[in-house]
Amino acid sequence: MPDQSFPGNFPVLGQPVDELALAEIKGAILAKLRLAIGKDAGMATRHDWYKAAALALRDRIVHHWLTAEKQSYDAGRKRVYYLSLEFLIGRLFTDALNNMGLLPLFETALGDLGVALSDLRKCEPDAALGNGGLGRLAACFMESMATLAIPAIGYGIRYDFGLFRQIIAQGWQQEYPDEWLGFGNPWEFQRPEVVYHVHFGGNIERITDANGRERVVWHPAETVQAVAYDTPIVGWRGQHVNALRLWSARAPDPLRLDVFNTGDYLGASAEQARAEAICKFLYPNDESPAGRELRLRQEYFFVSASLQDLVQRHLASDGQLRGLPSKVAVQLNDTHPSLAVTELMRILVDLHNFRWEEAWKITVATLSYTNHTLLPEALETWPVELFERLLPRHLDIIYRINVAHLALADARCPDDVDFRASVSLIDEKSGRRVRMGQLAFVGSHRVNGVSAMHSDLMKETVFHDLHYLYPDRITNKTNGITFRRWLMLANPRLTELLREACGEAVLDDPSQLSRLESRASDNAFQQQFRSVKHHNKIALARLIGERLNVRVDPAALFDVQIKRIHEYKRQLLNIIETVALYQAIRDEPQRDWVPRVKIFAGKAAASYRYAKLIIKLINDVAEVVNNDPVVAGRLKVAFLADYNVSLAEVIIPAADLSEQISTAGMEASGTGNMKLALNGALTIGTLDGANIEIRDHVGAENIAIFGMEAMDVVVRRKQGLDATDVIRRSPRLSRAINAIGSGEFSPDDPGRFESIAHALRYLDHYMVSADFDSYYEAQRGIDARWQVVPAWTRASILNVARMAWFSSDRTIREYAEDIWDVPVRGTSPAAAQEPAAQRGATR
């Protein structure tokens, strides 16, 4: 990473550092170095210094944490539990320092001790316990819940290995294990006393108890222990701290001594290996469900441990479970924790003797579910046989839920077998399978989509029939991002400028960003704004030079597409446009082409061969374009390896153009789009996901929209996927596809990209060919706008000024009010709440 300095001096602008506090911090860091790390300053490595500083900071957070815990406990406040199989956290050191208001103090203290904070922060591994947007959303939500002082716990799995490390070798993606815990983790507290037993397998027995009630007893075959690890998540200004509680798995007997003594050393720890497999690694799939048994074991493991934990906490304070929904809200992030529906029922009915109907009311009132995808094939399902073998009691519960649920369906739509089949919790079509999306829907009082368009489409597509049965359940909660990480930390220079222009209050209340409106055309302010962007671009140019040995000009237009590599996200559309532009430049090298740098980053699921081929294509095109003397540096292509939160923090502040070009109707929301617009990048995008709401807020004149709309896509797909019609009409597209397909960019293997050319011509499911001309034209429109510097700068400033609504604080406030029913302190001014109607917003 390039050097980052921290001009941001958030808590005490312009004030000298408090000498007493400074001495105390220095003392604390040195004490940690000696007593916790066992080194003295002379011997310490940078890593030792990082750990000592992190531990000194953690001490200060813990005081606030324990106070916050006690206060919410004493007040009997309702708690939120956020269940997510993914948390894409990134680094915590400067994030926590910033929120605690200790960034300047630590920077000075460390400087006095002879180490640079900017060096230490790079020692922290990037915690990547998530694939992409879904996991990053969970991390932003944790930060916002702490900021809004909502008592909350995030529950997930402490994977030994996070998302794989990506290396690009000869243009191909290679995957390596992510050993993020290799040097220990200074943030977490192991809680050896917080252990729950999670059971699998076996059989169930129906008995009649002493009161003559029929009961079901589960006799499991296998037991795994879940051990808690807590990471404190501190909110802005350090007022409130919540825990992220991640579960690690182990066998009840670490070593079978009887087996060991027979000489079978491997067999003696086989049980341990089987248990530990559960938390060994994150499934590296994005958008497509991982259908393996181990995945189902992961899901039940973390759901069961989390529910046992929250039930125990509730019983400790309230003594009974009847009032659970008034004290507990459980949010299911996607279908991965759907088993919470059946597990809570099992706890209530089997373990606490609740009558079925009452248990069901409690369950539905406690749970709510966030949907992240519209594709029916992307909703998780599990074969009934697998379910029965692993979780026999849960399958039994699902059947019973289904009886009442289907009775309701029959009452609403008598004799409609299709309706009944569509809402059933069991899919009978392709072998019998349990449908996790339907289960989560039926067991929740609220089901939310993640952008206005996505929530509307949910009602019309995946959950059309369930919406008919339960019409008040679906609600929308458009995603957001935490401005602390994605503005203050990632872009300290812009933050500094915003503090001067909008006042200090902008740090607490993003609606203050609107004060930029009046400065958007101010020449002097524009220059300051451009100078910030230029600085950030120099840093990114340096990184590209170091990593790829490619020289890029910071004055060029930085065109950025960073996200998981997926066909629906259409990196392919972007690289074909790159090829077409390259050919146009070669045709007329004397023209005054706008210099552009195409920057890509993203990982492809290891099993997703086509996505990996697209990465290779980007790198092959880069090789040719970057080294063509005719182009003379006016077009460069850079694929940066190993996209993660830390890399995003460097790229985003340097972006001029944000590529949000998914096939309309396929991106649920996106949050990368929000991060980039907040940092002043103009968006080129389709009317998809939250792009639509971004347009409504920034104004149609400050965003470049192109391409087919969701309805057009549906209609065209019905007509077939052949794209020869559009290719015939577009010589530019035809020529680009021919060049790719015939091996112009892969002379070492001319047939390498034949499959891509074939798909573009005859199987254009993602509308890459169909949208090409519209996209190419929109890009040339961007070229034209870029050349009018004051107008471009104005649009860029207005993007920043109008993004306040996309703060995850706003999103979390909406969840708190409409779904969780928990009070939020200090609701911010109305200005931050609503889109800017005065600018002609359409909603």
Ligand X SMILES: *Cc1c(COP(=O)(O)O)cnc(C)c1O
Instruction: Please give the residue ranges that form the binding site for ligand X (CB under 6 A).
Output: 88, 132-133, 136, 563, 643-645, 648, 670-672, 675
Q: Which one of the listed residues 564, 570, 603, 761 is annotated catalytic?
A: 564
In the complex, minimum distance from the CB of residue 643 to ligand X, in angstroms, rounded to a whole number: 6
Q: Is 372 a catalytic residue?
A: yes
Q: Which one of the listed residues 335, 373, 671, 686 is annotated catalytic?
A: 671
In the complex, minimum distance from the CB of residue 86 to ligand X, in angstroms, rounded to a whole number: 11
In the complex, minimum distance from the CB of residue 601 to ligand X, in angstroms, rounded to a whole number: 9
Nearest to 56 by CA among 237, 188, 229, 186: 186
Q: Which one of the listed residues 51, 79, 295, 675 is annotated catalytic?
A: 675
In the complex, minimum distance from the CB of residue 453 to ligand X, in angstroms, rounded to a whole number: 14
**DSSP H helix total and E strand total for the chain:** 34, 24
Q: Which one of the listed residues 327, 563, 616, 794 is annotated catalytic?
A: 563
In the complex, minimum distance from the CB of residue 285 to ligand X, in angstroms, rounded to a whole number: 14
User: What's the CA gap between 423 and 465, in Å, rounded?
Assistant: 6
DSSP codes joined into one string, 640-651 = ESS--HHHHHHH
Strand partners, 217: 205
**Helical spans, DSSP H, in 182-292:** 257-261, 265-268, 270-276
316 class by beta-carbon count within 10 Å (0-12 exposed, 13-18 middle, 19+ buried): exposed
Nearest to 187 by CA among 16, 284, 56: 56
Cβ proximity to ligand X, 248 vs 561, nearer residue: 561
Q: Is 394 a catalytic residue?
A: no
In the complex, minimum distance from the CB of residue 648 to ligand X, in angstroms, rounded to a whole number: 4
Cβ proximity to ligand X, 131 vs 746, nearer residue: 131
User: What's the CA gap between 622 and 618, in Å, rounded?
Assistant: 6
Q: Is 671 a catalytic residue?
A: yes
Q: Could you tell me the CA-to-CA distances from 563 to 18, 454, 570, 602 in Å, in that order?
A: 42, 19, 10, 5
User: What's the CA gap between 543 and 549, in Å, rounded?
Assistant: 9
In the complex, minimum distance from the CB of residue 444 to ligand X, in angstroms, rounded to a whole number: 24
Cβ proximity to ligand X, 89 vs 339, nearer residue: 89
DSSP codes joined into one string, 16-60 = PP-HHHHHHHHHHHHHHIIIII---TTT--HHHHHHHHHHHHHHH
User: Which helix (H) or strand (E) segment is 683 a member of?
Assistant: strand 682-685
DSSP codes joined into one string, 383-404 = EHHHHHHH-HHHHHHHHHHHHH
User: What's the CA gap between 430 and 382, in Å, rounded?
Assistant: 11
Nearest to 768 by CA among 560, 564, 571, 582: 571
User: Which helix (H) or strand (E) segment is 811 a member of?
Assistant: helix 808-814
CB 703 within 8 A of CB 485: no
Closest residue to ligand X in the complex (CB): 672
Cβ proximity to ligand X, 133 vs 238, nearer residue: 133
In the complex, minimum distance from the CB of residue 485 to ligand X, in angstroms, rounded to a whole number: 9
Q: Could you tell me the CA-to-CA distances from 258 to 251, 255, 261, 264, 463 in Å, in that order?
A: 16, 9, 5, 9, 54
Cβ proximity to ligand X, 136 vs 446, nearer residue: 136
Buried/exposed code over 15-48 (b: 16+ C-beta within 10 A; e: otherwise)? eeeeeeebeebbebbbebbeeebeeeeeebeeeb
Instruction: For residue 296, give both structure tokens.
Output: 């189902």
Q: How far is CA 4 from the centre of its chain?
A: 24
Cβ proximity to ligand X, 68 vs 490, nearer residue: 490
Q: Is 718 a catalytic residue?
A: no
User: What's the CA gap between 752 and 735, in Å, rounded?
Assistant: 17
CB 134 within 8 A of CB 378: no
Q: Is 569 a catalytic residue?
A: yes
CB 76 within 8 A of CB 631: no
322 Cβ contact list (under 8 Å, min separation 6): 358, 362
In the complex, minimum distance from the CB of residue 75 to ligand X, in angstroms, rounded to a whole number: 34
Q: Is 564 a catalytic residue?
A: yes
Cβ proximity to ligand X, 364 vs 676, nearer residue: 676
Cβ proximity to ligand X, 88 vs 681, nearer residue: 88
User: What's the CA gap between 385 and 191, in Å, rounded?
Assistant: 36
Cβ proximity to ligand X, 485 vs 612, nearer residue: 485
Q: Is 167 helix (H, G, I), strand (E, B) or coil?
A: strand
Cβ proximity to ligand X, 88 vs 572, nearer residue: 88
- Residue 615 identity: I
Q: How far is CA 213 from the centre of its chain?
A: 46
Q: How many CB atoms lie within 10 A of CB 537?
A: 22
Cβ proximity to ligand X, 671 vs 799, nearer residue: 671
Q: Which residues does the annotation mark as catalytic?
A: 372, 563-564, 569, 671, 675
